[in-house]
C-alpha cells in the first residue's frame, strides 16, 4: 500500500511516498518557491536527484506536477495507487491529542488555530485543499506536531501568569517536534523490549527541543507556547528574560514584532557567534580558535545539558538518552561534550562508538548508568504510520 506524507509550507511542499508493506521510501522530494518567481522541484529516486525549474503558481499546480511526474517516472501507473495522504500540521491546540482523519470540521479547526501557527497553517491548508482537489476520494490524515505533548499535566503546561490568559487566550505550553519525539519513543520501546521506560529525547538540529518521556508519553518538553522557547537553537534564542524585549525595543526603536523576529532569526548560535547558525561550521571555527564561536558552542551545550539534567530529576532518573535530528545524529563533538558534562550522573560514552553519523547505535559504554543512543528521526514515516493506522480503524 502506497501512502504519501506531505509537509506543506507557505511556498513549499515536501513529500515522501512510502510502500507501507515494508515502510520503504519509494521516492521523495520538494517543490520550492510556489507562487513565486524561479520556482522549481527536486525529486530523489534510486539515489539520484532530478531537478527542474518550472512555473508553480499554486499548491494545486505543484500537486498536479508531482502526481504526473510519479506517473512519467513509472513510480505509479495511476493516481489510484495512492491509498492515503498524511499531512503534517503544526498546531492542534488543546483540541487534538492525536492524529485525525481530515474532514470539513478538521479543516475549519486548522483555520481557527491559525493565530497559534500563523507562519505554517496557511501553507498547510493550501496543501490539503490542493490534494483534495486532485485526489478527492483518497483518505487524508492531519498529523499534529503538538499532539504528542498533550499528555503533559497542568503543572507542566501552565505558565505562572494571570490565569485568565489561559482561560481567554489559551496561553500555555504546547511543545513541538512531537512527531519526532513520538517516533523516538516508539523506536526506544522496540530497542528496550518493554513498555515501561524513562526516556530523555534530544531533538537537536537547526531547531531543537528536549522531551521527558515516561512509558511512551510526554511528561514535559522544552518548547513552549511557540517554538521560540527552550534550548538555544541555530537562529532562535530559546529561553530569555522577557523584560529584555521592551528594553531593547526602547533602545533600538523597534516594535515587539521586530524584536520577536530578531529572537527567531538572528539569535541563538548565529547571534552569539556572530558567524553562522550551522553547528558544523561552528565546531570548525572553534577548532580554529574563534573566541565567539567557542562562546556560542559552550552556551549551546550548557542549555542542552540544563534541560537533560532537569528532566532526569523530573523523571526520577532515566533509562536512556537519545540524540536525534541534524546535530544530534551527526555532530560527534557536540554529543561527546554534552555527555561529558553529564558524567556526574554516571553517563559514559565510548569515543569509538560515538564516532558515527546518521546511524541508529548505542554510543554509551557497558558500565554507563544510562544508555545513550543516536537514532535518526523519521517524521515522514511517523506521518505515514498514523495515516495507515487511522485508515484501518
What does the domain layout of the chain look like in residue ranges? 2-144, 193-379
Say if residue 393's pLDDT is above 90: no
List, in sequence order, every residue forming a beta bridge with 156; answer none if it has no partner: none
How far is 165 from 26, CA to CA, in rounded Å?
46
Catalytic residues: 145
Say if residue 133's pLDDT is above 80: yes
pTM of the shown model? 0.93
Place 9 in a pLDDT band, splitting at 50, 70 and 90: confident
**% residues pLDDT > 90 (the chain):** 88
- On the CB side of 20, CA atoms within 13 Å amount to 23
**pLDDT at site 99:** 95
Place 19 in a pLDDT band, splitting at 50, 70 and 90: very high
Place 342 in a pLDDT band, splitting at 50, 70 and 90: very high
Q: Which secondary-structure segment (H or E) carries 309?
A: helix 291-315
Q: Which of 35-44, 109-118, 370-379 has the highest mean pLDDT?
A: 370-379
| CATH of region 193-379, choose from 1.10.8.100, 3.30.420.40, 1.10.10.10, 1.10.3720.10 | 3.30.420.40
Average pLDDT estimate for 258-284: 94
The three-class DSSP label of residue 194 is coil
> Is residue 375 exposed (0-12), middle (13-18) or buried (19+ Cβ within 10 Å)?
buried
Q: Which residues contact 239 (CB under 8 A, 6 or more apart)?
A: 229, 230, 231, 303
Smallest CA-to-CA distance from 211 within 377, 77, 75, 93 is with 377
Say if residue 10's pLDDT is above 80: no
Say if residue 156's pLDDT is above 90: yes
Same topology, domains 2-144 and 193-379? Answer is yes
| Homologous superfamily, domain 2-144 | ATPase, nucleotide binding domain (3.30.420.40)
Smallest CA-to-CA distance from 87 within 127, 122, 117 is with 127
Amino acid at each position: 500500500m502506497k501512502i504519501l506524507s506531505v509537509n506543506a509550507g507557505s511556498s513549499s511542499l515536501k513529500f515522501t511516498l512510502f510502500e507501507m508493506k515494508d515502510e520503504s521510501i519509494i521516492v521523495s522530494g520538494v517543490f520550492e518557491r510556489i507562487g513565486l518567481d524561479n520556482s522549481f522541484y527536486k525529486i530523489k529516486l534510486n539515489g539520484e536527484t532530478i531537478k527542474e525549474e518550472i512555473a508553480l503558481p499554486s499548491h494545486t499546480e505543484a500537486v498536479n506536477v508531482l502526481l504526473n511526474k510519479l506517473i512519467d517516472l513509472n513510480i505509479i501507473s495511476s493516481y489510484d495507487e495512492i491509498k492515503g495522504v498524511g499531512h503534517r500540521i503544526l498546531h492542534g491546540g488543546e483540541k487534538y491529542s492525536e492524529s485525525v482523519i481530515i474532514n470539513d470540521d478538521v479543516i475549519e479547526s486548522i483555520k481557527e488555530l491559525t493565530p497559534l501557527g500563523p507562519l505554517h497553517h496557511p501553507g498547510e491548508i493550501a496543501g490539503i485543499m490542493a490534494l483534495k482537489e486532485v485526489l478527492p476520494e483518497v483518505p487524508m490524515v492531519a498529523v499534529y506536531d503538538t499532539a504528542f505533548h498533550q499528555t503533559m499535566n497542568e503543572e507542566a503546561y501552565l505558565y505562572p501568569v494571570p490565569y485568565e490568559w489561559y482561560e481567554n487566550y489559551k496561553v500555555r505550553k504546547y511543545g513541538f517536534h512531537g512527531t519526532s519525539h513520538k517516533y523516538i519513543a516508539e523506536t526506544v520501546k522496540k530497542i528496550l523490549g518493554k513498555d515501561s521506560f524513562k526516556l530523555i529525547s534530544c531533538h537537536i538540529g537547526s531547531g531543537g527541543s528536549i522531551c521527558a518521556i515516561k512509558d511512551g508519553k510526554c511528561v514535559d518538553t522544552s518548547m513552549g507556547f511557540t517554538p521560540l522557547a527552550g534550548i538555544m537553537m541555530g537562529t532562535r534564542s530559546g529561553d530569555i528574560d522577557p523584560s529584555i524585549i521592551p528594553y531593547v525595543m526602547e533602545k533600538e526603536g523597534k516594535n515587539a514584532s521586530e524584536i520577536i523576529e530578531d529572537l527567531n532569526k538572528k539569535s541563538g548560535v548565529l547571534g552569539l557567534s556572530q558567524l553562522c547558525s550551522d553547528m558544523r561550521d561552528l565546531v570548525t571555527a572553534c577548532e580554529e580558535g574563534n573566541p565567539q564561536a567557542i562562546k556560542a558552542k559552550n552556551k549551546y551545550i550548557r542549555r542542552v545539558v540544563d534541560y537533560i539534567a532537569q528532566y532526569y530529576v523530573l523523571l526520577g532518573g532515566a533509562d536512556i538518552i537519545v540524540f536525534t535530528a541534524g546535530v544530534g545524529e551527526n555532530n560527534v563533538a557536540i554529543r561527546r561534550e554534552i555527555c561529558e558534562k553529564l558524567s556526574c550522573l554516571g553517563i559514559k560514552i565510548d569515543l569509538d562508538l560515538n564516532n558515527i553519523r546518521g546511524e541508529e547505535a548505542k554510543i554509551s559504554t557497558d558500565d554507563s548508568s544510562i544508555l545513550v543512543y543516536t537514532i535518526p528521526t523519521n517524521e515522514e514515516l511517523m506521518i505515514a504510520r498514523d495515516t495507515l493506522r487511522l485508515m484501518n480503524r
